[in-house]
Amino acid sequence: AELRKASKRLSCHKRYKIQKKIREHHRKVRKEAKKRGHKKPKKDPGIPSAAPFKEELLREAEQRKQRLEELKQKQKLNRQKEHEKKRKLEAKKNAATIKEKAEGKESSGKSKGKTKKLLNKNSKKFFCRELMKVLEASDVVLEVLDARDPMGCRCPQLEEAVASSGGNKKLLLVLNKIDLVPKDNIEKWLNYLKKEFPTVAFKSATMMKDKTMEQVTKRHARVDFSETSQYFGSKCLLKLLQEYGKTQDKAIQVGVVGFPNVGKSSIINSLKGKRACNVGLARGVTKSMQIVHLDKQTKMLDSPSIIADPSNSALALALRSIIDPEGSDSSDVLEGVNALINHCSKQQVMLHYNIPDFRDPEEFLSLLAQKRGMLKKGGVPDIENMAKLVLCDWTGARIKYYSQPPGFQKPPPYLTEQKIAEMQEGFKLNNLDQENSNTVQAIKHPSPGSSIAFQSAGMTNGTIEENKVIEEESEWGNIETSKEEEEEEDEEEEFTESDDDEDDVEENDDDVKEVTRKGKPGKLQRSPTNSQEQKTGSERSRSLSFSLDKPADEDDAYDFNTDYV
């Protein structure tokens, strides 16, 4: 409830006391004025008639007056000229802006598309362009893999592009988030992956301390960043890169690439030892190439995420797509969660979420929503929002799950024995194996019983070239253009409505009431799509107008003949 204003009413005793004080003050002021005496302003006596040069003095005074008047007129004219110049300049500017707008509207859609492509940094085509920049500029490419599903994080198109590129370009695999996977599983994956590319076991820091974090820790003493700020494997990776740089006798550039939420930026922060790149749970935080200097010989290049091809399975798109689950359609999110649950062990999912047996993924989501209190009106479980939360948990670092490596080693067609030897050349693999085993032993791993067994869908296809993303890019552009056009239409409607209101002010009050009942016509006419909806809307408006036009006496009249219980 709003606070009421304080009352200005006073008691009579207080009011009379104030009035008395005021009278005394006025009396005092009058007395002091009498003592000082009233001084009238002195009149100009003028030139006495007995003065010898009276006529000359009068002429000089008149001339002075005339000069002052001329000066005033000149100043006035100058001001008017300045105002006219300003008005002309403003008119020219307005005319130029109007012409530019007209030319912009008349220009073809192609030119609009080109300008928007340059400005739109959230487009998939822009991400591909930045990713290609990183691949071309880097001497060593680090492909970051999530240790929970390493095969699903590998992109064959990227690996083929690096392998087929000319020059002495190397590809290293970084197995990140090893603290979320059982120890035996990590060792199996390291043995499997090192036969194709040199592989480094890594645990990145999810939260690096910076100035803002130090302020938080000072204010809130309970905040603990010990687990989130720990990182393992950084010394091994730095040593590997520095040794390779010495063999090349030059400063090397290292590009970090991978699918979203695998920990690319957090690896760079761990190597740097402080927060150099932005990190977040949302997908696609890094939108352009970022350069971070580790030392004089090594330069890290952070890249945007690889875009998952739409031809992939629902599971791969749910875990590896760049679009955030909160912004995507609910049907896609539900399909992704269905694929996730179907590829997991049912009993382990039940134990992890502490829910009873369920028949299908929809029932799983409804049970989980009821347990966590995510309910709509009437106690109906909010399945859509629950699905978004489950997806975020699986792509983030909350859920501990693992996948088994393939039973037999079958390298992809672009990886021949000669190409594998070229990739491993220049690295001390024996030292690398020893360092990996040390990092695996130093980390506390979850037990296989506490983590969920997951069936991987295999390698995820990605789009790296700009030409292959033209159609999707145009769709994104059309969405943005439609949004802008709607905004422009709304602005035009507001202007037209304001003009109509000015005209209606001159009309009678009854007409104004009718306009207020009808509301804004432009927006209401665009909302219904079908003819039936338009008819129902018109019928409602008629019924409303009829009920409003009835006199108040008929509605409020009391009928004495009928008995009201």
For the stretch 135-153, pLDDT in tens is 888 889 999 999 999 998 9
The Cα-based distances of 288 to 139, 391, 466 in angstroms read 19, 25, 15
Identify the pLDDT of residue 559: 53
Q: What percent of the chain has pLDDT over 70?
A: 72
- State how far the Cα of 200 lies from the Cα of 198, in Å rounded to an integer: 7
Residue 484 pLDDT exceeds 80: no
Question: Average pLDDT of 376-402?
Answer: 86
* Cα–Cα distance measured from residue 443 to residue 205, given in angstroms and rounded to the nearest whole number: 13
* HSE-up (13 A, CA, CB side) for residue 389: 12
Query: Which of the pair, 105 or 333, is modelled with greater confidence?
Result: 333
Q: Is the pLDDT of residue 219 over 70?
A: no
Per-residue pLDDT at 21? 97
Highest mean pLDDT, choosing among 65-69, 257-261, 359-363: 65-69
Percent of the chain with pLDDT over 90: 13
Q: So what's the pLDDT on residue 432?
A: 86
Query: Is the separation of the CB atoms in 242 and 236 below 8 Å?
Result: no
In this structure, the strands spanning 252-257 and 199-201 are unpaired
pLDDT digits (tens, 9 = 90+) for 459-476: 888 888 777 664 444 444
Give, as one character, the DSSP assignment of residue 203. B
Taking only the tens place, the pLDDT of each residue in 231-242 is: 778 888 888 888
Per-residue confidence (pLDDT) for residue 423, from 0 to 100: 85
pLDDT mean over 275-294? 75
Confidence check: pLDDT of 555 > 70: no
How far apart CA 365 and CA 384 sit, in angstroms, is: 9
| Predicted pLDDT at 324 | 57
Which residue ranges form the domains of the chain, and what is each CATH number?
A: 124-207+228-310+407-445+458-466 (3.40.50.300), 314-395 (1.10.1580.10)
User: Which of the two residues, 76 and 115, has the higher pLDDT score?
Assistant: 76
Res 30: pLDDT: 92
Beta bridge partners of 308: 462
pLDDT tens digits, one per residue of 320-357: 876 555 556 677 788 888 888 888 888 888 888 888 88
Query: Whole-number mean pLDDT of the chain?
Result: 75
Mean pLDDT of 158-183: 87
Nearest to 208 by CA among 120, 279, 155, 109: 279
Residue 48 confidence (pLDDT) above 60:
yes
pLDDT tens digit sequence for 52-91: 888 888 889 899 999 999 999 999 999 999 999 999 999 9
The answer for residues whose C-beta is within 8 angstroms of residue 243's C-beta and 6 or more apart is 427, 428
Whole-prediction pTM: 0.59
Q: What pLDDT shows up at residue 229?
A: 62
Q: Tell me the per-residue pLDDT of 428-448, one tens digit each, with 9 for 90 and over.
A: 788 888 888 888 888 888 888
Q: How confident is the model at residue 535 (pLDDT cuts 50, 70, 90)?
A: very low
